[in-house]
Structures are given as structure tokens and as C-alpha cells.
Structure 1
Amino acid sequence: MPNPYLDWIVYQKLCQGEIKLPSTMAKRLTCQYLTGEHPFLRYAAIKMEYLYRDPDIVMYYDVLTGGVKPANFRISKYGALSDKASPTVAQVSRRVSAFTNFDMSSAEPLQVVNYGIGGHYTPHYDYYRPNEESITDEDGDRIATVLFYMSDVAQGGATVFLDIGVSVFPVKGAALVWMNLHRSGEGDLATRHAACPVLLGSKWAGNKWLHESGQEFLRPCGLEYQSADMHLKLPRNVPTTIS
């Protein structure tokens, strides 16, 4: 059970970038070009960086192009866009499929969010907790999260994982990806995360949640409660310590 007081201390330190990974974990982190059989990856390999291992938290760089354009006819903080909304939104889904190797047929619409000064999101899980009603039972739970950073942020606005001590500051055009579920289908408790307050500037982000349906052959189930995820079979991590 999370300790609210300790959570608050860790949250503050992570938001300020004061918690660093121990050397035993940092030396296991690598950068590489993602290539594969997908036609897009054959044409343009994607730069990827592991920010944590097991659970794998991966940043994919330069996966979005263009920028956010203000609209005088609408002022909003949140919007959901389906692939049918525009060719651009459909292209985003195809790009996600290319670098995650997941089926997009059960994915939720692209959620676009704007955080102004002070905008934040308290610690939470993206998978459905007990007694929570899922959006659609036939599609299963949220197996993975793809978080697009659609703008840089002058100060603040990091995505932080409280239980493993990871801080990720926005990089325009990049996508942060992590698995929400173990191969057993159980939620990964280490994925509890939060969006830190924006202190200066504005933060535009987009979420694409991928569901279990359609992934049966792409990511087969496992019998163990916990198992290594993402693209590689990885050893267990060394626990993060806070000084």
C-alpha cells in the first residue's frame, strides 16, 4: 500500500529531477536504432533509448512531425480523435504499430491533452484496477501506453514513475512507451506514474492506449504472475534507492 507522505516526498524529488538511477541500473541502459521487417522501419529506422529495464520504459525519438496549431474557434483541455477523424490521426496509429509491433484494431482513440501552468496528473495506473469498469470488456485491459510529447516544456511537466524512481522530461516529437500488464495479464504495479506540474510554458501531450485484443499471437500470454516484457527477455532489475 503506497505511503502518502513518502509518495509526496518522492514525487517532489522526481519532478525536480533530483533522483538518479543507481549505477547498477544505469549501466544496463542502451540506445539503438530500431529496425525490422515493417516497411516503415526499413525506410527509416527509429532512434530508441531504454530509460529503465524491467519494467521496460522506452523513449522513441522523432516519431511525430509537424506541430500544434492554435484554433480560435475552440478552447479545450482534452480531446479524443479517432483514426477516421483525419488522415493524420490514422498515420499516428500506423506509426505506433510500426515501432511497437502491436495490433491497433482494439486501440483507444488518440487522446490529446493540454496542461497549462500548474497542470498536472496525480499518481495512477493506466490499467484497470479491481472494481473499475473498463471501457470495453471485449477488448481486454490496456496492455501498453504510448505517450507522445507534442511540445517541449520550458520548466516542469515531467512524467515520473514513483515506485522505480524514474523521471522523464518532455522531448518534442518523442514517444514514451511502457507495458501496463505482465504476460500473465496482471497489472504491473511498478508502472504507477504521474504528470508533474507545468511551472513555465505549456505542455501538449497525446496518449494512445493499446488493448489486449488482437495481441494474442504478437505477445503470447505467460503463466507466471511477473515476467519480462517488451521486445527483449530481460533479467530482474536492482531496486532503486533514494538518498
Structure 2
Amino acid sequence: MNFYLQSSLLLLLQLGSYLDPDDPDKIKDPVAAYKLLRRVRSEWMNITSKRQRALSCRYSTGGGNPRLMYAPVKEEVEWDEPRIIRYHDIISDSETEILKNISRPQLSRSETTRGVSKTRTAQGVFLEEDTIVVAPISQRIADITGLSMDSAEELYVQNYGIGGRYEPHYDEWDNENGRIATFLIYMSDVEIGGATVFPEVGIALKPKKGSAVFWYNLHKNGNVDLYTEHAGCPVLRGNKWVANKWICEFGQEFRRPCSLSYGE
């Protein structure tokens, strides 16, 4: 049985002992129940004091990028291994609306490596670099990540309606010029659902309009990081707009040097 399923069943059984049999809406010992929830959550997410200290917020200049020296970005470390970073307020409301308006008439069913599939129920469109606001966004991503956009894929705008989802997958398709990293921009809030989840490490990232999350799909040795498997949870209420920038390997040789170590 899956570890997370076992933990869920154990939690339900233990919490059941705290319920008042005469009134299931009441908890006999709310303090004990709360402590249990915190303990199980920590076990699920493997949170240790050392790991907790690694999850921090700061202003970042992208390693000293001149364009960010006087306007640093708000950086929040969501997870340490794999390193998943959220950047706040990196796209404006006006840029978001422009992207949506340009994309709407061009949207078509998003595909997987096998074509159209029920595992991915969304609509999307690739926007060329010379499209209004796209070039400045690409430059912003380059400044923040320190990576080259020369071989990156075009910005891919997607819309998930009610029930829209993307089942667990890896962004790297084992191509010659593989997707070394993902920069996922949230262009809308979602009332219920729509989180980006990483099941192997047990974290969920809620969409927050104007923010973006970034992670490396590949280790420095070129192998796929198996902990980067992720999914888009179904949208239960609201509408989810995102924009993906998949950054590829070519051109990163001196920006993210390769490693001969199996563990890197």
C-alpha cells in the first residue's frame, strides 16, 4: 500500500477516537487532535528543524543581475529537495490580461507525448517571442534564474476550466535538448482546487496570481530528478490560467555546469 495512503488511513482512525460518538461534529479533545494533525503533517512532509530553516523568504537579485539590483524579486523557498522556489509579483495584472486576451482565440486542446489524452484536460497555445509582453517576460525569467533563454521553448499559456487537470508527469521528455528547468507562472487565483502537487515529496502549491514557481527537472549530472514528478489538481471552482516557460539544456553549460557525480 502507498505510504501516503497508509498514513491517511492511520490519521482517520486516530482522529476518529477524538470524535464525540453522540455528536460527530464535536471533538472531545481538540488540543490533542490538533497536535496529532501537526505530527502527522510533519511526518508526511518529512519536515525536520534543519529542513524548516531552509524554507525561507528573501529579496533576490538573481546572483547580482544589474537589472535586479534596484528592484530585487521576492523569493520564497517552498521546498529544499528538490529545490522549489516561488517568486512573488513577477507579472503585473495588465500583462496577465494581455496574455489572456491574445491567447483566448488561439487556444486548442493541450497534448501529451501521446497526443490528446484524458490525463491532460486543458487548452493552450505557444506564443512567439515577438508577441507583445512575451519578450519582456522571457528577459525577466532569464534575469531571475540566471539561465539562457536562447534554446528555451516559447511561452505556453494554458487555461483549465472546471474539472481541468493534469495527472502526474515529468516535464523532461528525454529529448536531446531536454527541459532542464520549469518556470510556471500563475495568471489567476483559483477558488477551490488547481494546486500544483509534487506527490513524491508531499507538497502542494496553491495558485497565486502574479507569482511563479521554479524548479530544475534535471540533476547536474543530466539525470531526471524523480522527485520532480508533479500534477495539476482538478479545478473545482473558478478558472485557472498559467503560463509555462520550459528552459532547455543547450546554452546552460557555463550557467549551470555539469557534474560527474551521480548524486548531483
Common topology (TM > 0.5): yes
Gaps of 5+ in 2: 10-39, 108-122
Pairwise CA distance, 1:22: 3.9
How many residue pairs are counted as aligned between the two chains?
209
TM-score (norm 1): 0.79
Does residue 137 of structure 2 align to residue 111 of structure 1? Answer: no
SS of alignment partner, residue 190 of structure 1: helix
Report the counterpart of residue 55 of structure 1 in structure 2.
82
Deviations 1:43-63 (A, max 9, x none): 211000111112100001110
Pairwise CA distance, 1:39: 2.4
When the two chains are superposed, the root-mean-square deviation of aligned CA atoms in Å is: 2.4
CA distance in 2, matches of 1:30, 1:72: 35
2:259 to 206, 212, 222: 222
SS of alignment partner, residue 216 of structure 1: coil
Pairwise CA distance, 1:172: 0.5
Pairwise CA distance, 1:128: 1.6
CA distance in 1, matches of 2:157, 2:148: 21
CA distance in 2, matches of 1:221, 1:100: 17
Q: Which has the higher contact order (CA 8 A, sep 6+)?
A: 1
CA distance in 2, matches of 1:8, 1:27: 24
Report the counterpart of residue 238 of structure 1 in structure 2.
none
Does residue 116 of structure 2 align to residue 85 of structure 1? Answer: no
TM-score (norm 2): 0.73
Does residue 5 of structure 2 align to residue 6 of structure 1? Answer: no
CA distance in 2, matches of 1:29, 1:8: 22
CA distance in 1, matches of 2:227, 2:102: 38
Q: Is the CA contact (8 Å cut-off) linking 2:106 and 2:125 kept in structure 1? A: no
**Residue identity matched to 2:2:** L
Report the counterpart of residue 27 of structure 1 in structure 2.
53
CA distance in 2, matches of 1:202, 1:7: 32
C-alpha spacing 1:70/1:128, structure 2 compared with 1 (3 Å): closer
Pairwise CA distance, 1:71: 6.9
Deviations 1:70-103 (A, max 9, x none): 57982732110121222x0001100000100001
CA distance in 1, matches of 2:248, 2:254: 13
**Residue identity matched to 2:217:** N
Percentage identity across aligned positions?
44
Which has a greater percent of helix?
Answer: 2
**Larger Rg: 1 or 2?**
2
Deviations 1:174-194 (A, max 9, x none): 110000000000100000000
